[in-house]
Amino acid sequence: MKFRKTYKRKQAAVLLSVFLLVTSVAGCQRVGAVKETGEEKVNVVTTIFPQYDFVRQIAGDNVEVSMLLKPGEETHSYEPTPQDILKIQNCDLFIYVGGENDEWVEDILDSIDTEHIRLLRLIDCV
């Protein structure tokens, strides 16, 4: 029973973190997708589907969200394409698991300018 409460708290903390980060970058001025009203959307990039789905469900039409890994791709053996690296470099918020699951991410982040990107490493939220 205690495990279930702890798990629910961790899950709630992760969801809250995603929501706060998405809403905090909503006012950032960057070139990105434009809504029908003329406002720019926040550009969010995720590595896997659960992150993508959380952002899509929480932020809805306020963000332009994309997922790097295609359905069925293995995160441990994933090799990012140059287009994937550009997606990360040009996004407002990058959400990834971290740790052994996304070892390749740290190499990419070390090789690009991340000063303007908000990073959410989910393993740090647990």
Question: Mean of the pLDDT values across residues 19-47?
Answer: 64
Rounded Cα gap, residues 48 and 73, in angstroms = 9
Higher pLDDT, 42 or 100: 42
For residue 13, give the 3-state DSSP assignment. Answer: helix
Question: Mean of the pLDDT values across residues 66-77?
Answer: 89
* pLDDT tops 70 at residue 37: no
Rounded Cα gap, residues 77 and 101, in angstroms = 9
116 Cβ neighbours under 8 A, 6+ residues apart: 30, 92
* pLDDT tops 70 at residue 28: no
Architecture of the domain whose range is 2-125: 3-Layer(aba) Sandwich (3.40)
53 Cβ neighbours under 8 A, 6+ residues apart: none
Q: How confident is the model at residue 29 (pLDDT cuts 50, 70, 90)?
A: very low
pLDDT at 59: 94
pLDDT at 82: 96
User: What's the pTM?
Assistant: 0.71
Neighbours of 5 (CB within 10 A): 9
